[in-house]
Amino acid sequence: MNGKISLLLLSLIFLTSTPGVCPLSFQEVHVKAGEMAVLQCPSYRGYSDGDAEVFWTSHTVDEMKLFNMSTSAEQRQMGVLVHGRILVILRVSVNHQGNYSCSFRNSSRRSWISLKVYTAQSRECEQMNQSFKECYTEESYKLYCPEKNVSFNTLNITTSGITWHKEGGSSPKDGYFPSVKKEDSGIYTCTRFYLYDGQIYNMTSTVKLDVQPNKITEKAVIISPENKQVFEVDLGSTVVIDCKAVMMSDFDDLFWLSGSSFFDADTSLPVSYNDTRPFLLRVNSTEEITMTTSLIFRKVSEDDLSKNYTCKLQSDYETNFVTITLKQKDGKSYNACLMYYKSSTDQGLSEDDRKRLESEMKNRFGYSLCLYSPDVVPDR
């Protein structure tokens, strides 16, 4: 804490003691000893990277130095590269700790950057350079290693790969999770490697990943119709059969097909389909994405009765489908028929017996019953 206050006081001394210079801004950069540090002078209106010369000055405890592009050979020997608004220290040591200022030629404005150097094992530095990311279980996720918004090519520095390391565990290759689990939560350290003049240098950052339970807890599934369900239809009639599904994401697909043939959305065709956009339905604390796709028969034909129709839900997580068929209605309003013989004896059914039987079959068992003698043939 005392060191940080001293740096701030030192910067204020330079800000107030430099005649004719108007301070523009103040930044802090935190880096571990042995790593590469990048200082970037803020740009402002009237000056651009291409047409303005930038002067850098280091105000460290040991000495004060002036850096610019005209002294590049000497700077390379010191492990310092300068190109316009960018100053790179290839391998930082505690001797580099201090304040750095930058200013544009013919400008009275000056910006200040405080460079704080930590030991290689410092937790404080990791926390200073830590980003926070959140994702959900059962989803794919890729960690991105923070990168400086700097064109290293202008300094002849080339990138040479990235490695990931998880604190107290293993890390996926390239930071990619095909399906995130709760135990994947934790702190990940990424190291970016850079190649300059035959030497490898590096910069590290940390990412804190917080894995939350998936907002959508249900699996992707078709909720209607039922598999092998038979729909009774009238020939020549218009029939619409809805297929409803709960999906895992907006990218899931729900569609009808017959065999391997897909249907078109053109409603002028004998058979077509129409679907609704997925929408989010909240039930208590659970969120569900639902969708409906309809199979439309303009006029049911004999040929339609001979085919199977499949509603298919295509998801990254699983595939679900149901198959239905059509059946022609028989045109009758009853579903049970009982034939009896007339008799003049007491052993036959009386009129009261027939009414009682019909009532029992209807009210107790749910049948729509017809009672006829042999010489009467029911037509409905």
SS3 category, 243: strand
Tokens of 123: 């937790």
Q: What percent of the chain has pLDDT over 90?
A: 28
φ, ψ at 291 (rounded to 5°): -150, 150
pLDDT digits (tens, 9 = 90+) for 267-284: 888 999 888 766 655 544
Question: Domain 129-212 belongs to what architecture?
Answer: Sandwich (2.60)
Pick 221-328's CATH classification: 3.40.80.10, 2.60.40.10, 2.40.37.10, 1.50.40.10.
Answer: 2.60.40.10
Q: Which of 75-84, 159-168, 312-321, 333-342 has the lowest mean pLDDT?
A: 333-342
**Taking the mean position of all CA atoms in its chain, how far away is CA 303?**
44
pLDDT at 163 over 50: yes
Per the CB < 8 A criterion, the answer to whether 289 and 250 are in contact is yes
Give the pLDDT band of residue 342 (cuts 50, 70, 90).
low
pLDDT at 38 over 90: yes
Distances (CA, A) of 13 to 18, 298, 363: 8, 86, 99
Per the CB < 8 A criterion, the answer to whether 271 and 265 are in contact is no
pLDDT digits (tens, 9 = 90+) for 41-60: 887 665 555 556 888 888 87
Residue ranges per domain, the chain? 2-118, 129-212, 221-328, 336-372
Interval 208-223 mean pLDDT: 77
Question: Domain 2-118 belongs to what architecture?
Answer: Sandwich (2.60)
SS3 category, 109: strand
Distances (CA, A) of 333 to 232, 330, 380: 13, 9, 6
pLDDT at 140 over 70: yes
SS3 category, 301: coil
What is the rounded distance in angstroms from the CA atom of residue 55 to the CA atom of residue 236? 86
pLDDT digits (tens, 9 = 90+) for 91-138: 999 988 999 998 887 777 788 999 999 998 888 888 888 889 998 888
